Every structure is written in C-alpha cells, then in structure tokens.
Amino acid sequence: MRIRALVITVTTALALTGCSLSGSGSDNTASKGSKGAEAPSDVVLVTHDSFTLPQELKAQFEKTSGYKLVVRQSGDAGALTNKLVLTKDDPTGDVSFGVDNTFASRALDAGVFADYTPRDLPAGAATFDLPGDGGKKLTPVDNGNVCVNVDTTWFQAHHQAPPATLDDLTKPAYKGLFVTPGATTSSPGLAFLLTTIATYGDAWPAYWKKLLSNGTKVDDGWEDAYTVDFTQGGGHGKRPIVLSYDSSPAFTVKGGVSSTQALLGTCFTQVEYAGVLAKAKNPKGAEAFVDFLLSPEVQKALPDAMYVFPVAHGTPLPAEWAKFAVQPTKPLTVSPQDINAHRDEWLRTWSDLVSQ
C-alpha cells in the first residue's frame, strides 16, 4: 500500500516536473530571442482582445519584413488606450493597433504615438483620418458601425412593425424588448451612448431615463447582450432588439436570408487606428507593420478575422457581407475633441442613471 502510494506520488511529481521544465525551457529560449541583441529582431504589437489575423498573413509579414511578430493583447479599446498612456515612457511594444476614435484623443494628448504616415496610403483610407490629427500619427485600418439590430422574424411572427429610430425604442409598443451592453464596460456600449448624445445633445439623460423606464436591459458586455438576451444570438433570449454591429446581419443567414437587420438611422462609426509608439525600441519594424495592415491582403482578411470593414476602397468583401452587411450612408458622429473633453462626465452621469 505504502509503496504503491509512494510510486504514484513520485511518478506524478516527476511527470509534472517534466512538464514544467520543458515548458519553461522552450519559453526561455523564446524570450532570449526577444530580449535579443543590438539590432531588434522582433516587432512587438500592443493591441486589444479582439485582434486576430490568419496565421498565413502573420507568416507573410515575418517573411517579407524579416522581423518576428510578437503580439501582446489585453482588454478592450479603452483598457488598451489607458495601458498605452500609463506605460508611455517604457512602452510594452513598438506599434499599437486598436485605439479607436472614441479614445484616440486621450492617447494623442498624452504623447503616446510618434509621427508616421505610410507612403502609399490606399485610396479611401484618408477619409477615415482622425479629425485633428489628419493621419500624422494615427493611420486608419478598419471601420465599422455600431447599430441597433432587430430580429425581423420575431416581428413578423408577432405581426408588428419593427422599430426604426431611437425614438421608437421608448414607445410602449417596444417595452421590454431592447437590450444593450453598458457604456462603462464595453466599447459598443460607449458607442451607443455617443449615438444618443449625437442625436439628442444635452437632453440625452432625459432620453436614457425614458429608455430605461421602457424596460431596456443593460448588460455587462456585448457577448452577454447578444448571445444570452437577443432572440437570434444562439442563446434563445427573449428580446428581439439588440445593440450590435452593421455587419451582424451577415452572421444570422439561414437559407440565403438573414433573420436580422441593422437600423441604419441609429449607427455610430468606430474607426480603429494603428500607430508607431513614441518610445518604440524598433521603430522601423513598427512602421513596416503599419504598412502591412494597409496591404490588400490584410484589408481583404479584415471582415472574416475581426468583423469590420476595410478602409481601402475597392477591397472585395465576403459574399454574405456584400449581400447582408449594409453600411449606413449617414452615420452619427461626435468629434474626438468633444468626446475627450466630456467622456468622463458623460460616463459618470450614465452610470448614475443606470444604477438608480
């Protein structure tokens, strides 16, 4: 008995130690490579949780540029921006992707980014330049719209017309049907708050009071709102109106028809930017990566990889996107300067409205 227990213990311990040693062994060699010699061989990308690109494209970048791409990602666009601001004197990487138009001014004011404009900017990209920066430091990579989505099949089954405007959402006919992620905990949620600010100006708190008293549900994150509470999100929720993206209808296609639709009058445009970090250890590699994000291959891969639209004109879209992901012609906007000046005040007010 005793010997058996001893044997089990020793074998398990040895097996586990084997695991650990080989694990840290290979990690050590990797990190030695990254600490590296005089000429940096790595380019380190600091980005948010939603960043992904196909493995082949990553390999292609490493082959053509000669740098090894190291990706560090955590948090959403807000957390990313604040991380860049806090570590600006000793950044955790060379280049950043994912700061969007709602947070960009904060990063620019703090001096996070160095000047860099790619030499051959693809046609159409410049229209997404951040007002006030004009492409000097931040390069637009992708864009997408946060819009109210409706489950068209639900409204058909209930013989009811779906809502069309923000005002409709406060009408008794749509009581208890809308769910949105929170502005303080998710970036689409913040975009929706800005949508209402763009529409109602200083009267936005009054609109939110009506919205909340009409049974609107506020969830923690987009995933919670869409996958649990929305009727078409896979979780068999009960609410047929949800805050999501203009591309979402392309993901609810069954038998050549999409069961959802984005309300194009309720959209707020989010543009994501890339930029070279001011204290980058490998600025050349960082510039190469910004150029790479604008290459036709990456621009073409964006919809499938990150559910956003490319900024380069004429980039072919996936078939279902071309058919079902309709972009608004006149999205709502709030200027980055305005957002930067009032964001905290707005979020505090909003937070108090919701928690009452």
- For 207, half-sphere exposure in the C-beta direction (CA atoms, 13 angstrom radius) is 18
Comparing CB distances to other proteins, the nearer of 125 and 242 is: 242
Contacts for 324 with CB less than 8 Å, ≥ 6 apart: 249, 250, 253, 258
Task: Round to whole Å and give the CA distance between 204 and 195.
Answer: 10
Comparing CB distances to other proteins, the nearer of 79 and 114 is: 79
What tokens does 74 get? 């955590």
Task: Round to whole Å and give the CA distance between 283 and 274.
Answer: 13
Task: Round to whole Å and give the CA distance between 178 and 138.
Answer: 35
> Using alpha carbons only, how large is the chain's radius of gyration in Å?
23
Comparing CB distances to other proteins, the nearer of 2 and 119 is: 2
Comparing CB distances to other proteins, the nearer of 44 and 288 is: 44
Q: Are 311 and 296 in contact (CB under 8 A)?
A: no
241-245 and 260-262 strand pairing: unpaired
Nearest approach in angstroms of CB 327 to other proteins is 16
Nearest approach in angstroms of CB 163 to other proteins is 19
At what angle are helices 55-65 and 283-293 packed, to 10 degrees? Answer: 130
Residue with tokens 């510039």: 287
Where helices occur in 201-235 by DSSP H, the ranges are 204-213, 222-224
Element (H, E) at 136: none
- For 339, half-sphere exposure in the C-beta direction (CA atoms, 13 angstrom radius) is 26
Contacts for 351 with CB less than 8 Å, ≥ 6 apart: 183, 184
Comparing CB distances to other proteins, the nearer of 46 and 288 is: 46
Strand ranges (E), 136-214: 139-151, 178-181
Comparing CB distances to other proteins, the nearer of 20 and 127 is: 20
Comparing CB distances to other proteins, the nearer of 73 and 333 is: 73
What tokens does 220 get? 């923690």
Q: Are 238 and 231 in contact (CB under 8 A)?
A: yes
Nearest approach in angstroms of CB 119 to other proteins is 28
Nearest approach in angstroms of CB 222 to other proteins is 7
Nearest approach in angstroms of CB 32 to other proteins is 11
Comparing CB distances to other proteins, the nearer of 294 and 306 is: 306
Nearest approach in angstroms of CB 71 to other proteins is 4
Nearest approach in angstroms of CB 270 to other proteins is 15
Comparing CB distances to other proteins, the nearer of 55 and 329 is: 55
Nearest approach in angstroms of CB 31 to other proteins is 6
Nearest approach in angstroms of CB 85 to other proteins is 7
